[in-house]
């Protein structure tokens, strides 16, 4: 789904979200959440990054993508570099190589911690020097 901060006041939303998913295994969790969140959506007033949702019961906000990065905004757009920001978190979003590809992307960005043996395999490593 991505990166979310959910407070205890959203317990009703969380319970309904689980109920929707339990009723139909074909429902995608992200779509179910978005449908519930957007139900009764309205402006929160005064701040364009905030809105009311879930029938006006909850206030939602948009996190800055340079510090709460998706895979695309971090690895492709490199928003953190453009805004000279240190990301608080990076969400490994969909890419075509599945979990292994996500792990590889994180390793390349030095965001993944491996045991020393990963970097010194008994078979050796292939190196390229132009």
Q: Give the pLDDT of residue 120.
A: 87
Q: Comparing 15 with 49, which gets the higher pLDDT?
A: 15
- What are the pLDDT digits (tens) for 22-39? 999 999 999 999 999 999
Q: Is residue 95 part of a domain?
A: yes
Number of Cβ within a 10 Å radius of residue 75: 17
Number of domains in the chain: 2
Residue 17 in this model has a pLDDT that exceeds 80: yes
Q: Is residue 125 part of a domain?
A: no
Q: Is residue 19 part of a domain?
A: yes
Identify whether residues 106 and 91 lie together within a single domain.
yes
How far is the C-alpha of 77 from the C-alpha of 69, rounded, in Å? 10
CA distances from 130 to 90, 106, 108, 127 (A): 32, 25, 19, 10
Of 95, 113, 87, 76, the residue nearest 3 (C-alpha): 87
- 3-state helix, strand and coil shares in percent for the chain, rounded to the nearest 5: 40, 10, 50
Region 103-119: mean pLDDT is: 90
Instruction: Residue 19: give the domain boundaries.
Output: 8-45+52-61
Give the global pTM. Answer: 0.72
Identify whether residues 17 and 57 lie together within a single domain.
yes
């Amino acid at each position: 789904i991505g990166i979310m901060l959910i407070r205890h006041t959203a317990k009703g939303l969380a319970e309904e979200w689980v109920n929707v998913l339990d009723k139909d295994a074909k429902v995608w969790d992200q779509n179910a959440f978005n449908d519930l969140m957007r139900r009764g959506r309205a402006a929160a007033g005064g701040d364009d990054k905030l809105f009311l949702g879930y029938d006006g019961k909850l206030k939602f906000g948009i996190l800055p993508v340079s510090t709460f990065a998706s895979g695309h905004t971090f690895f492709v757009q490199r928003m953190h570099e453009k805004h000279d920001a240190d990301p608080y978190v990076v969400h490994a979003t969909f890419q075509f190589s599945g979990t292994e590809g996500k792990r590889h992307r994180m390793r390349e960005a030095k965001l993944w911690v491996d045991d020393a043996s990963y970097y010194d395999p008994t078979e050796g490593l292939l190196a390229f020097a132009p």
